[in-house]
Amino acid sequence: MIWPFKSRFRKQIARIEITGPIAGDTRKRVLEALNTVKERKFPALLLRIDSPGGTVGDSQEIYSALQHLREKVKIVASFGNISASGGVYIGMGAQHIVANPGTITGSIGVILRGNNIERLLEKIGVSFKVIKSGPYKDILAFDRELTEPEQHILQELIDTSYHQFVRTVAESRNLSEEAVRTFADGRIFTGEQALELGVIDRLGTEEEARRWAAELADLDPDKTECCTLEKPKSLINRILSNNQTPAGGLSAARNWVEFELSTNGLPLWLYRP
Question: Hey, which residues are catalytic here?
Answer: 85, 137
Stated length of the chain: 273
**Orientation angle between helical segments 24-40 and 56-69, nearest 10 degrees:** 10
20: buried, middle or exposed (CB in 10 Å: 19+, 13-18, 0-12)?
middle
- CA 202-203-206 angle, 5° bins: 100
Answer whether 203's CB lies under 8 Å from 191's CB: yes
Pairing between β-strand 53-55 and β-strand 74-84 as defined by DSSP bridges: unpaired
CA angle 222, 228, 232 (to 5 degrees): 150
Alpha helix stretches (DSSP H) within 92-184:
118-124, 148-172, 177-181
SS3 147: coil
* Rounded Cα distance, 187 and 81, in Å: 16
